[in-house]
Amino acid sequence: MITKEIQVKDYLSKSKIGTYAINPYIGCPHACKYCYACFMRRFTLHSEKWGDFVDVKLCQTPINLEKIKGKEVFISSVTDCYNSLEERYKITRNILSQLVESDCYIQISTKSKLILRDLDILKKLKHLEVAMSVNTLDENFKNDMDKASSIADRLKTLKTLHENGIFTVLFMSPIFIGITDYKKIIEETKDYIDEFWFEDLNLRGGYKKVILAYIKEKYPDLYPLYEDIYIKNKKESLYANDKEIVKFCQENNINFKAYFHHEEVMKSKEKVQGHGKNKFVQTSLF
Ligand code: SF4
């Protein structure tokens, strides 16, 4: 892992729609094969492979709590704020300690059990949702896809957070049609999940080839379906699967938000009012 410390002026960055994001690191050692955030590599002029570098952001200026009062603050959209570097640097912990005094609406997205280290601070935050991505219960598939915490650890983490009064979101993303067993995941976790979110696999970056080659090799029976959806743009089966998920949730009184298509997540951000404690919807790249 190539690690570099960099100085930044402010941890906050404002999006076009008026929300704030905090990304304490650039890069992400979880190296998910389907990572939408890998564009950051080019954007930050890194020549290393996505997953092989992390820039640690150091900032001397305190977070301006006035600026984010009543606003939505999303931690983290293009990294995992609880990646392995956080164990040593405690940047996220430091940021959250500052946010304890704030009235902002915080959403943390992670795939790491390390978040439990900061339970003491999380419990003090006024408005908080924690989203954890889980798109399989199969550890082998997970290991093929990323280097983050095991599925067992993610589920244990969500359960512990819930038991400590923190609003939990299981973010089923990305959904691999034919592989992601949404019913089994929901049934296994619904007792400690406050809200489920859904997002389909979107293959639009350089990783499209990688994922399709993976499906061809490991799930050859599914390859024609993936070819239809992601090469020939014939998406009927995808839409049918989306509908089934919604129907299942409705019939079983599952609290959920459907953001099946990533571009729609962004467009719908201002329109959708969730059932969650916080008033905003996710913009995660997970
Ligand atoms: S999807 Fe999220 S956790 Fe995975 S590499 Fe990208 S930023 Fe990291």
Question: Quick one: pLDDT at residue 205?
Answer: 76
pLDDT tens-place string over residues 92-150 = 999 999 999 999 999 999 999 999 999 999 999 999 999 999 999 999 999 999 999 99
Please report the atom of ligand 1 found closest to the CA of residue 51.
5
Atom of ligand 1 nearest to the CA of 109: 2
**Distance in angstroms (rounded) separating the CA atoms of residues 208 and 42:** 17
Task: Please give the model's pTM, rounded to 2 decimal places.
Answer: 0.90
Q: How many residues does the chain have?
A: 286
> What residue owns the CA closest to ligand 1's atom 6?
35
Band of pLDDT at residue 267, cut at 50, 70 and 90 = low
Q: How confident is the model at residue 37 (pLDDT cuts 50, 70, 90)?
A: confident
Which CATH number is 2-268's, of 3.10.450, 3.40.50, 2.40.50, 3.20.20?
Answer: 3.20.20
For range 159-179, the mean pLDDT: 98
Ligand 1 within 6 A of 169 CB?
A: no
Which tops the pLDDT comparison, 44 or 176?
A: 176
Whether residue 18 is predicted with pLDDT greater than 90 in this model: the reply is no
Q: What angle do CA 157, 163, 168 make, to 5 degrees?
A: 60
Are 216 and 223 contacting, i.e. CB atoms less than 8 angstroms apart?
yes
> What's the mean per-residue pLDDT of the chain?
90
Q: Is 199 in the pocket of ligand 1 (CB under 6 A)?
A: no
How far is the centre of ligand 1, averaged over its atoms, from the C-alpha of 133 (Å)?
10
Tell me, what's the pLDDT at 55? 94
In the chain, domain spans: 2-268
Query: Is the Cβ atom of 79 under 6 angstroms away from ligand 1?
Result: yes
pLDDT of 271 > 70? The answer is no
Residue-level pLDDT at 15: 81
Confidence at residue 264, expressed as pLDDT on a 0 to 100 scale: 53
Q: What is the pLDDT of residues 187-215, one digit of tens each?
A: 999 999 999 999 999 998 788 999 999 99
Between CA 18 and CA 112 the distance in angstroms is: 28
In the reported structure, the alpha carbon of residue 169 is separated from the centroid of ligand 1 by a whole-number distance in angstroms of: 17
- Residue 66: exposure state from Cβ atoms within 10 A (0-12, 13-18, ≥19): exposed
31 CA closest ligand 1 atom index: 5
For residues 209 and 46, give the distance between their C-alpha atoms in angstroms, rounded to a whole number. 21
Kind and range of the H or E run holding 224: helix 223-230
Residue 279: band (very low, low, confident or very high) from pLDDT cuts 50, 70, 90: very low
Task: Report whether residue 257 contacts ligand 1, using a CB cutoff of 6 Å.
Answer: no
